[in-house]
Chain A
Amino acid sequence: MSYTFQFGVLAQYQDQILSGIWLTIKISVLSIILGCAAGIVLASVRSIWGGAVRLLVDAYVEIIRNTPFLVQLFIVYFGLPGLGLRVGADTAALIGMTINLAAYSTEIIRAGTEAIHKSQIEAGEALGFTRFQIYRHVIIVPAIAKVYPALCSQFVLMMLASSICSAISTQELAASAAFIESQTYRSFEIYIAVTLIYLALALALRAVLALIGIWLFGRRIARKTMTALPEVQA
């Protein structure tokens, strides 16, 4: 192999890389906040209202979890204009990521609520809690605390999956890499550099989520966050 690596060329494209990193962080953080909030709401209405609402939420979760993120992005980006909604690539990415993450969060939080023991709820009733209070204090908050590590792994996976948004021309980190590659033909160097940046971002996100975990739920849960298995089970 007679290839000389030249990482020097990357320095000229610093701005491109930085703006890519910034957009990756922005859409990831926003979709995590929105997707997680939607997941809490959906998991709650599903178990409170039951019936048709439950079926609808379950159908949504199953459809999203059994189709590829890339195809979901295509439907949002190419399909929505057909319905009269024009969305830019960044907005489409954010919508796609939020829709995707909401389904996974709903599923993870649902699993958490179902793991709450019945005696806990009875204890709440015995203390004279209203149904809403029971749901809030006895079911949903402990459930989220329990599944927080799994949720965090899903958030990290989503951040990594944001690279797929480059396929619909969102100018995030992977798209910046593709652009610089097309300008310099230094494909190997740029992709090694960007891969390392993603690795750093993933570690940083895990650390931040662990700190949030300590702040929200205490030390015991946060420790698991750093090493948790991603939610790969169906």
Chain B
Amino acid sequence: MTLKTFGLDQFGFLLYSLQWTILLTVIALIGGGLLGFAVALARTSQLKPVRIAAASYIQIIQGIPVLMILFLSYYGLSLAGFELPPLIAAGASMTIYASGYLAEIWQGCIQAVPKQQWEASESLAMTRLQQYRYVVLPQAMRISLPPTVGFAVQVVKNTSITSIIGFVELARAGQPINNATFQPFRVFLAVAALYFVVCYPLSQLSRLLERRLHAGSNR
């Protein structure tokens, strides 16, 4: 039997597993976006205990490794009696991870909206909900676009960590190929190249949005 070399077939397998990386990223961004948005709102709440709870949540998520979130939800959920498929466990952990960072980014964006906007809308007798809905959030959203796209790059990259708990995405797919071909350099460079192809356009997009956001301002 001859050793396989890293060829088109193997590359095809990598390309195929890229879809799991992308799926996981989408789950993390949607789930983390919803949860993170709630935490960001809680962080800017008028009630002090709510603010403190949200701040602690952000501090804790940002103070522990993504790998530990993965292990805890992987083992924790099975302990609670849920036999979850790896995709759900991985998706849940990436959601929690993303929510902690998105909450902080968006909190900053909400606070970046000038105070006068709050005061003006208040003087128009808007309720707090209306202020968020019609005045603050539309402006905050515009500011939040560049850092959010930038964070999406981090999420794409960090989905690779789910390979450690056995979820077969792009980084994991490289390992059996490496074991079969003994060409680690080529295999993992190809894996890295595929990540780059996904991440680089996102990074550039984030930069472009950032420039466009500042184009109209006082600089």
Contacts and interface: CB of A to CB of B under 8 A. Distances in A.
Contacts of B15: none
Interface in A193-215: 194-195, 198-199, 202-203
A147 B6 CA distance: 43
Interface stretch (B35-43, B44-52, B125-133, B195-203): B195-203
Interface stretch (B26-34, B84-92, B115-123, B158-166): B158-166
A230 B62 contact: yes
Given A66-B153, A78-B188, A160-B65, A234 B71 contact: no
A195 B104 contact: no
Given A71-B191, A234-B207, A164 B164 contact: yes
Nearest to B105: A232
B195 to A, nearest CB: 5
A66 B150 contact: no
B199 A66 contact: yes
Nearest to B204: A234
A75 B186 CA distance: 9
Interface in B83-121: 101, 104-105, 108
A58 to B, nearest CB: 12
Contacts of A161: 65
Interface stretch (A15-23, A33-41, A138-146, A184-192): A184-192
Nearest to A200: B63
A203 B76 contact: no
A67 B192 contact: yes
A164 B161 contact: yes
B210 A188 contact: no
Nearest to B193: A67
B174 A74 contact: yes
Interface in A151-196: 156, 160-161, 163-164, 166-167, 174, 177, 187-188, 191-192, 194-195
B192 A195 contact: no
Contact of B101 (A75, A164, A191, A232): A232
Contacts, number: 143
Given A71-B191, A195-B64, A82 B185 contact: yes
B75 A232 contact: no
A188 B64 contact: no
Interface string B131-170: 0000000000000001101110110111011011000000
B80 interface: yes
A1 interface: yes
B18 interface: no
Contacts of B210: 233
A233 B150 contact: yes
Interface residues of B, number: 53
A229 B105 contact: yes
Given A62-B203, A232-B147, A163 B67 contact: yes
Contacts of A54: none
B79 interface: yes
A70 interface: yes
Interface in B55-85: 60, 62-68, 71-72, 75-76, 79-81
Given A163-B67, A191-B71, A66 B195 contact: yes
A128 interface: no
B160 A202 contact: no
A135 B166 CA distance: 49
A192 B185 contact: no
A29 B72 CA distance: 26
A232 B106 CA distance: 12
B71 A68 contact: no
6 contacts: A67-B199, A71-B174, A167-B164, A187-B75, A199-B64, A232-B154
Which 7 pairs from chain A and chain B are nearest by CB?
A78-B184, A234-B203, A66-B199, A234-B150, A68-B160, A163-B65, A202-B63
Interface of B: 60, 62-68, 71-72, 75-76, 79-81, 101, 104-105, 108, 146-147, 149-151, 153-154, 156-158, 160-161, 163-164, 171, 174, 178, 183-185, 188-189, 191-192, 195-196, 199-200, 202-204, 206-207, 210
